[in-house]
């Protein structure tokens, strides 16, 4: 299950990266500036999710 979640995380991160890249450079998909902002927000949410998972599954020292 964790392997599937990692795959979904990578897919969502890649999609956000493409949205940001196209918003800045314009690689042909035709997304506008607000798609760039949504991509940045999505990457922030992904990082928050990974951090939350790491904190929740951290072993208790002692």
Annotated domain spans of the chain = 9-50
SS3 track for 3-44: HHHHHHHHHHHHHHHHHHHHHHCCCCCCCCHHHHHHHHHHHH
pTM: 0.72
The pLDDT, as a whole number, for residue 26 is 74
Are 20 and 42 spatial neighbours (Cβ–Cβ below 8 Å)?
Answer: no
A 10 A CB-CB count for 33 gives: 9
pLDDT means per 10 residues, the chain with 62 residues, are 84 88 76 84 90 82 53
Rounded to 10 deg, the angle between the 2-24 and 33-56 helix axes is: 150
- Placement of tokens 């951090």 in the chain: 51
């Amino acid at each position: 299950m964790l392997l599937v979640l990692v795959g979904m995380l990578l897919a969502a991160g890649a999609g956000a990266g493409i949205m940001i890249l196209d918003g800045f450079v314009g690689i042909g998909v035709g997304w506008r500036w607000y798609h760039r902002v949504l991509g940045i927000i999505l990457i922030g949410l992904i990082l928050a999710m990974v951090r939350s998972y790491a904190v929740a599954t951290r072993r208790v020292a002692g």
